[in-house]
Amino acid sequence: MMDRRLLRETSVGISAKLWQVSWLYVLMLCALAGVGYVALYSAGGGSPEPYADRHVMRFAIALLMMLGVAMVDIRVIQKLAWPAYAVSLGLLVAVARFGHVGMGAQRWIEFGGLQVQPSEMMKIALVLVLASWFHRASWERIGNPLFLIPPVIAILVPVGLILKEPNLGTAVITAMLGGTIFFAAGVRWWKFLLVALPVPLIARIAYTHLHGYQKARIETFLHPESDPLGAGYNIIQSKIALGSGGMWGKGFLHGTQGQLDFLPEKQTDFVFALIGEQFGLVGGLALIGLLTLIILGGMLIALRCRHQFGRLVALGISANLFLYVFVNIAMAIGAIPVGGVPLPLVSHGGSAMMTVMVGFGVLMSVHVHRDVEFSAVEDRF
């Protein structure tokens, strides 16, 4: 027993670490990317161009990157938490100033041809920072409201910047992600209630400050039929795609909504509708099942981890994945307002794939290094 732990602590032998990687989990990720290939093949009109092949190429690279990250000692990752947060914050500021405008919002910037969405990086950095903060905190200390002020600020600063982009969906997801980690870290119940109670009031005030297109999204969500050719078009077409797919679907490459371009943004935001139209309820439920396994797998990694940092990181990354999945599918079904959130590893899009896979790399690093001990010196509190 001691031998094994020592072996891990010294972090020797890449091959030994690779042995520790949950290859079942990697296999599930590959299956998800495979679903993406099928969906994007049909989004390309029955052709690997222009989406599917690039998707697989990106996934292959991202998979190597993920395994690379998984090999990094989780304690090293913890040391990188604040620097990563600082970089992400800098990029968020930069994107506000120099970023490219997409859908009326500034969301990404380019680094040597590579598009980067700082808000996506920030979510992982935020998970690391919050986990690092609470890793050092005793149960009693967490009960101290003053102790919670720095992490709350760490959440609110990026959320504010993302709101300014403006990207309401990601801002809400980021805030909820932070809240989830607070919850898992053991912040007392009543404190959540204290925050949650004024939310309706804040929402009302916030609504008046929303951008026109954001209001439109909420309006059209509430009454999609009121503007069938305008802002409600996306929701209606997505529901038509899913609904007409029925129980068994129209068959691969036989989805008229997708193949005939009625479904907007089918390769990104509405990829779930594209699958649901072709493979029906059965296909849609299978995909939801696979995603659920991946999310719960991440939660299990958190539960099996022996250190608080790893637990919170794994839980945070799983929660992030869950929020992605939930928002994307709920939007495709028309259960929440449209938000421009991709379906991880299925939607077309390079920068999202990279950040998601870095997240999985960190998750896998937690799994590989689940039994390591953090030095007491580090734990100053």
Of the residues 184, 345, 346, 358, which one makes contact with another protein according to CB under 8 A: 184
- 190 near another protein, judged by CB under 8 A: no
Sign of the Cα pseudo-torsion (77, 81, 87, 93, in order): positive
Sign of the Cα pseudo-torsion (89, 94, 95, 97, in order): positive
Which is nearer to another protein, 316 or 361 (by Cβ)? 316
Of the residues 69, 241, 357, 363, which one makes contact with another protein according to CB under 8 A: 241
Query: Interface with another protein by CB under 8 A: which range of 66-74, 90-98, 104-112, 309-317?
Result: 309-317
Of the residues 38, 43, 109, 315, which one makes contact with another protein according to CB under 8 A: 315
Query: Interface with another protein by CB under 8 A: which range of 31-39, 62-70, 150-158, 181-189?
Result: 181-189
Q: Residue type at 118?
A: P
Of the residues 12, 16, 202, 303, which one makes contact with another protein according to CB under 8 A: 303
Which is nearer to another protein, 166 or 334 (by Cβ)? 334
Of the residues 118, 158, 178, 334, which one makes contact with another protein according to CB under 8 A: 334
- 296 near another protein, judged by CB under 8 A: yes
Which is nearer to another protein, 17 or 370 (by Cβ)? 370
- 247 near another protein, judged by CB under 8 A: yes
Query: Interface with another protein by CB under 8 A: which range of 160-168, 241-249, 343-351, 358-366?
Result: 241-249
Of the residues 244, 254, 350, 371, which one makes contact with another protein according to CB under 8 A: 244
User: Least separation, in Å, of the C-beta of 68 and another protein?
Assistant: 27
Q: How far apart are CA 41 and CA 46, in angstroms?
A: 5
Q: How far apart are CA 345 and CA 342, in angstroms?
A: 9
- 292 near another protein, judged by CB under 8 A: yes
Of the residues 92, 154, 242, 366, which one makes contact with another protein according to CB under 8 A: 242
Which is nearer to another protein, 34 or 143 (by Cβ)? 143
Q: How far apart are CA 85 and CA 91, in angstroms?
A: 10
- 284 near another protein, judged by CB under 8 A: yes
Which is nearer to another protein, 161 or 302 (by Cβ)? 302
Of the residues 10, 138, 144, 226, which one makes contact with another protein according to CB under 8 A: 138
- 239 near another protein, judged by CB under 8 A: yes
Give the 3-state secondary structure of the chain: CHHHHHHHHCCCCHHHHHHHCCHHHHHHHHHHHHHHHHHHHHHCCCCCCCCHHHHHHHHHHHHHHHHHHHHCCHHHHHHCHHHHHHHHHHHHHHHHHHCEEECCEEEEEEECCEEECHHHHHHHHHHHHHHHHHHCCCHHHHCCHHHHHHHHHHHHHHHHHHHHCCCHHHHHHHHHHHHHHHHHHCCCHHHHHHHHCCHHHHHHHHHHHCCHHHHHHHHHHHCHHHCCCCCCHHHHHHHHHHHHHCCCCCCCCCCHHHHCCCCCCCCCCCHHHHHHHHHHHHHHHHHHHHHHHHHHHHHHHHHHCCCHHHHHHHHHHHHHHHHHHHHHHHHHHCCCCCCCCCCCCCCCCHHHHHHHHHHHHHHHHHHHCCCCCCCCCCCCC
Which is nearer to another protein, 202 or 285 (by Cβ)? 285
Query: Interface with another protein by CB under 8 A: which range of 1-9, 96-104, 289-297, 343-351?
Result: 289-297
Could you list the residues that contact another protein (CB under 8 A)? 138-139, 180, 183-186, 236-237, 239-247, 256-257, 259-262, 276, 280-281, 284-285, 288, 291-292, 295-296, 299, 302-303, 308, 311-312, 315, 319, 322, 325-326, 329-330, 333-335
